[in-house]
Amino acid sequence: MTFDLNDEMAQAVTEQQLRASLSLILDEVRSDKPSHHFCEDCGAAIPEARRQAVRGVRFCIGCQEVQEHYQHIGTGKRYDSRR
């Protein structure tokens, strides 16, 4: 089976997005920064278990899901719930 140029470009873009997402995730997991006690976007308290599980955590679970959604759809934009 041969791929046409559009299929190859789509694969390359998908791979690039996956690598970028993985890099962001690994940066957060390997972070030496202390975890926030309150979500950077909505201000909700971040549970102790989450702060211990994810070093350098900045968002509550809900806001983190929104962040990941925007990364997944490829907008590259960071959602800010305070706007």
Q: What is the pLDDT of residue 65?
A: 92
Q: Rounded to the nearest 5 degrees, what angle is found at the Cα of 23, between the Cα atoms of 19 and 25?
A: 120
Q: Which domain holds residue 38?
A: 5-72
Is 79 domain-assigned? no
pLDDT at residue 82 above 60? no
Is 77 domain-assigned? no
- What is the domain count for the chain? 1
Is 78 domain-assigned? no
- Residues 26-65: pLDDT tens digits? 776 666 788 899 999 999 999 999 998 888 889 999 999 9
Answer whether 0.75 is exceeded by the pTM: no
Structure tokens at 12: 């390359």
Amino acid letter, residue 20? A
The answer for residues whose C-beta is within 8 angstroms of residue 56's C-beta and 6 or more apart is: 28, 31, 32, 33, 34, 35
Is 82 domain-assigned? no
- C-beta of residue 21 within 8 angstroms of C-beta of residue 13: no
Is 35 domain-assigned? yes
Is 31 domain-assigned? yes
Is 29 domain-assigned? yes
More confident residue, 7 or 26: 7
